[in-house]
Chains A and B, each alone.
Chain A
């Protein structure tokens, strides 16, 4: 069965600090996809990134970067020079290609608070 663990329940930083959100996953599939979503206080989940299991290249998008390591089953997310607007709950999610559906299995989420 697939499982996603986000061990950090809450993180609080001061603006301009760098912060890394951890994500560890479990799956028996060899083909799967990993996602990060942001949930601001308004409640809507916002898609940030998708990674497939065959692409271990790290990715950078502006202040955001992602580190995917299959050897440790981790898909960590780093925000550089954090801003108050980054305050939200961040979810890591997994989707297995081998299942009949395409459900996302989410972690419990990490509440990030960026203080001015």
Chain B
């Protein structure tokens, strides 16, 4: 069964350092999402890609976060510099195409701890 892959699964970094997360969506899925899930809360969308284009990044803190999907396949989310409040689970999801109808398939997530 096809799955969304993410790495690393766990990351510990010191504040002010740079950190990056990688996501490989299900093959053929054109739409890719990055969500942030703070402990005890529901996930919140950070950025949505359709192929290589950003569709929605209204909740992305652009002063320190960046995301790219250069060839429209895998994606990288970067934080520079990391802050204590960035400690969270970062979830990647993909769907076959854009549109509210289509279910999103989630990866296992990257748990980030900033010390």
Q: How many residues of B contact A (CB 8 A)?
A: 29
CB of A42 within 8 A of CB of B108, answer yes
Asked whether A100 and B103 contact (CB < 8 A) given A44-B109, A106-B44, the answer is no
Whether A102 contacts B103 by the Cβ 8 Å rule is no
The answer to whether residues A47 and B42 also contact, given A101-B55, A103-B48 and a CB cut-off of 8 A, is no
Which of chain B's residues have a CB closer than 8 A to the CB of A47?
A: 103-106
What total of chain A residues lie within 8 Å of the partner, measured CB to CB? Answer: 29
On whether the beta carbons of B100 and A43 are closer than 8 Å, the reply is: no
| CB within 8 Å of A: which B96-111 residues | 98-109, 111
- Say whether, besides A44-B106, A44-B108, A102-B95, A107 and B48 are in contact (CB < 8 Å): no
B98 and A102 contacting across the interface, CB-CB below 8 Å: yes
Task: Write the nearest CB–CB distance from A44 to chain B, whole angstroms.
Answer: 5
Q: Residues of A with Cβ closer than 8 Å to B?
A: 4, 31-33, 35, 37, 42-47, 50, 52, 91, 93, 95-97, 99-104, 106-109
